[in-house]
């Protein structure tokens, strides 16, 4: 009593977590939405079942009337909560509502009119004690039944409207999730392409660097050969003695470096 809707469904969710089947997992919001869907369907089915019961007062068994009510219900949508209805139909709340619904449908609210005026004077309102006696004696309370019938229809309408809003909200959430997944997939694909481009660019840069090094090595080798040719082809007879000695030493070093054996006197 005196508890909020959030507190009520939190207690239900705590109970669910303690008794849930293996592999089942529902959030508190999911349980609340599930109950709203069950309540909407079962309330509507109760109306169909009541109409069938009034039409078939005799001659048919309970299962036949249930089957006929299901056929009436499924003209608009499948009825997938028969197991829920079987659990709820014997509960006091649901039984009271069905009694009120049947009483209101079978006896139109005319009590106020029949209690009309006496000699043109308004009828005296029913007193508290008289109302208690009438309820104790089991007399019909058509005004209460009519009120209950109207309240039940209002509950059905509110449940249906709430169910539609919740369904639209869930569809919106699912659409947002689908868009988010598509965006994440696109971002992943773009990231993958960027990584591949970076790897290709790096590979091309490495190739260019290697080619540049090879070109520089060849240029250096060509410059060295040019210098060595100049040293090896120098006319030593025209050089000063000390310069001639330097060139002879350089020529010997070049020949050693190139693997060329110096000619001996026997080779001359």
Which pair of structure tokens corresponds to residue 5? 């809707």
> How confident is the model over 97-139, as pLDDT tens digits?
667 766 665 555 454 444 444 444 444 445 555 555 555 555 4
Question: Same domain, yes or no, for 248 and 147?
Answer: no
Structural domain boundaries enclosing 81:
5-109+137-194
Can you tell me whether residue 118 is helix, strand or coil?
strand
Flag whether pLDDT at 40 surpasses 70. Answer: yes
Q: Among 54, 65, 143, which Cα is nearest to 104's?
A: 143
> How confident is the model over 143-201, as pLDDT tens digits?
544 565 566 666 666 766 777 787 888 888 888 888 999 999 999 999 999 999 999 99
Question: Same domain, yes or no, for 64 and 179?
Answer: yes
Q: Among 247, 217, 246, which Cα is nearest to 234's?
A: 247
Question: Same domain, yes or no, for 17 and 67?
Answer: yes
Q: Among 39, 36, 62, 37, which Cα is nearest to 49's?
A: 62
The least confident of 87-101, 136-150, 211-225, 249-263 is 136-150
């Amino acid at each position: 009593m005196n508890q909020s809707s959030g507190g009520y469904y939190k207690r239900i969710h705590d109970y669910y977590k303690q008794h849930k089947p293996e592999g089942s997992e529902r959030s508190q919001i999911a349980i609340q939405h599930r109950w709203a869907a069950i309540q909407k369907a079962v309330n509507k089915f109760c109306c169909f079942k009541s109409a069938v019961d009034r039409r078939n007062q005799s001659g048919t068994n309970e299962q036949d009337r249930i089957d006929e009510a299901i056929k009436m219900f499924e003209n608009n949508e499948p009825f997938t909560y028969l197991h829920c209805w079987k659990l709820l139909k014997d509960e006091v709340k649901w039984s009271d509502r069905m009694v009120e619904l049947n009483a209101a449908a079978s006896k139109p609210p005319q009590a106020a009119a029949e209690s009309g005026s006496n000699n043109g004077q308004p009828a005296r309102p029913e007193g508290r004690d008289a109302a208690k006696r009438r309820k104790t004696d089991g007399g019909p309370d058509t005004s209460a039944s009519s009120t209950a019938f109207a309240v039940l229809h209002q509950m059905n309408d509110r449940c249906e409207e709430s169910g539609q809003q919740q369904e639209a909200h869930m569809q919106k959430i699912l659409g947002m999730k689908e868009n988010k997944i598509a965006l994440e997939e696109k971002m992943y694909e773009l990231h993958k392409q960027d990584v591949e481009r970076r790897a290709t660019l790096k590979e091309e840069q490495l190739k260019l660097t290697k080619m540049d090094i090879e070109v520089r090595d060849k240029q250096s080798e060509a410059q060295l050969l040019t210098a060595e040719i100049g040293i090896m082809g120098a006319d030593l007879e025209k050089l000063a003695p000390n310069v001639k000695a330097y060139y002879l030493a350089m020529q010997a070093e070049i020949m050693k470096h190139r693997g060329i054996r110096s000619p001996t006197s026997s080779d001359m």
